[in-house]
Chain A
C-alpha cells in the first residue's frame, strides 16, 4: 500500500501547484509593471491603489448585464450605457492589460493632469471605477463637490463642481454641441485677434513702406551711394561677361580654324 502514500504526495504537490497559481482573493494590480514604472518616473506619483476587483464584484446589481462564463464581448460592451454602471468598464475584454489613456487619450489632456500632474484615479477613484452618473458614485453630481473637488479645493460647492475639467477644444466643431458658449466665445476671440492683426499689420506695414519711399535722406542715400554702386556692379558684371564671351569667341574661332586646316590637309 506504499503507492497510496505516493499518490497522496502527488495530490498534495498538485494542489500546492494549483492553489497559489490562481488569482489571489486579494485584489490584483491592474496595469503592467513597465507602464507603472514609466508613469511613476514621468509624474512622480505612484498609484499604489491601482488594483482591480477580481473576485469581489460590486454588490449593486446591474440590470441586463450578463455575468458568467460568456459575458458579452467588447464590441457589444461598447454600446451599453456605461455612464450608469457601478463598474463602468464591466465586461471589457483585456481590461486588466490596458491603461486609462489607451482608450481615453483626449481626456488625459486636461489642466489638472497637465499642470498639476494629477492622475486619473486621484479623482475617478480606484477600481471598480464607478460611472459618473451612477447613484452611489463619488463622482455623481450630487456629491462630486464634497467627495472629489473638496479634496483639494477646500469649500467647493456644487456649482464649483460644474467646472469642465475635461474642457473640449474651444474651436472644434463638436464643441458647438457639447459646450456652445465656449465654442462661440473662442471663435469670437479668435476672430477678434485675427481681425485686429489682419487690419493693423498690413496697415502699419504699408504706412512704413510709404514713409520709407518719402524719406528724403533715404532718397539721397539711394541716389548718391547705392545707385552708383549698383551701376558699377552692373558694369563690372557686364564687362566680365563681355570678356568671357570674347574669350570664348576667340577660342571657338581658333578651333574652327584648326578644323578647317585639318579638313584642308588631305
Chain B
C-alpha cells in the first residue's frame, strides 16, 4: 500500500533544484579550487575556468527564476479563507512549537529514554532542510549578482564590501554543500529506514508501514479527515524506478566526489 506524499509539481521543483545545485556546486568549486588538481579536473568538466563562471551565472539566473516561481506557488497554496490556520497548520512547512517538542523527544528516543515522536506531515529536520535552502538561495543570488557587477555595486557601496560579499558567497556555498552532501545525503540514502534510497521524492509515494512508523500523526489525520482513500497511490513503473535510482546515485556520487576532494584539497585553496 502506497501513500501519496509529493505531487508532480513538488517533485519537479526538487529535480530542478538537484540539477541546478549540482551544476552550481561543480562550477563554483571548480573555480574555488582552481589552484589544485581537483579544481582543474572539475573545471575541465565545465569547459575551463572562464566558461565555468558563465555557466555558473546563467544557471544561477535560472535558479532565481525557479525561486520566484516557487514562491508564487507557495503563496498560491495558502488557504486564504483561513490564512493563519493554513500557514501554521500541520500541512505547512512553517516551524511551530510541536517541532521543538519533537526534537526534544527524538533526542531522548535516540538514547532510549522516550517513545518516538508522533510526527505529522513534515518532520522538523525536513523543515530545516527546506528553510536552509530557502534563505541560502537568495543570499547566494544577491551576493552573486553584486559580485558579477562589481562596478555597479561600487557605485553605491564602498570597495571593501566586495571582499565581504565574496566571503559570504563562498562561506554560504560551503555551508550548503557540506550540509547537503553530509546530512541530507545521509538522511536520504544511508539511514536504515531509507537505505538504499528514499524514493518518496521521485516516485511521489511512501509505503504505508513506513509512513505509520515515521509520520504516524499524518496518517491518523488523513484517516480522521476522510482523505485516506484519496491519498492512495500507484506503484511507480519499473523503468522509472531504475531511472531514478541511477539518477539519484549519480547525484550522490558527484556530491561525494566534491565533498571528499574538497576536504582533501581544502588547505591548498590559497585565497589570501
Contact = CB atoms under 8 A, between A and B. Distances in A.
Interface in A188-243: 189-190, 192-193, 196-197, 200-201, 203-212, 215, 218
A161 interface: yes
Contacts of B163: 163-164, 167, 179, 182
Interface in B103-131: 106-107, 109-112, 125, 128
A207 B182 CA distance: 14
Given A114-B35, A156-B151, A159-B154, A208 B192 contact: yes
A35 to B, nearest CB: 21
A163 B168 contact: no
Interface string B151-165: 100110111101110
B270 interface: yes
B91 to A, nearest CB: 24
Contact of B272 (A161, A168, A189): A168
Q: Which of B154, B157, B162 has the most C-beta atoms of chain A within 10 angstroms of its own C-beta?
A: B154
Interface residues of B, number: 40
A193 B171 contact: yes
Contacts of A193: 171, 174-175, 178
A143 interface: no
Given A163-B162, A164-B160, A204 B191 contact: yes
Contacts of A155: 151
B63 interface: no
Interface string B239-272: 0000000000000000000000000000000111
B187 interface: yes
A168 B111 CA distance: 45
Interface residues of A, number: 45
A190 B171 contact: yes
B107 A203 contact: yes
A119 interface: no
B80 to A, nearest CB: 34
A37 to B, nearest CB: 22
A160 B167 contact: no
Contacts of A196: 175, 179
A186 B271 CA distance: 13
Interface of A: 109-111, 114-115, 153, 155-157, 159-164, 166-170, 179, 181-182, 185-186, 189-190, 192-193, 196-197, 200-201, 203-212, 215, 218
- A-B CB proximity, top 5 nearest: A162-B159, A189-B171, A206-B110, A163-B159, A160-B154
5 contacts: A111-B271, A170-B167, A196-B175, A204-B187, A206-B110
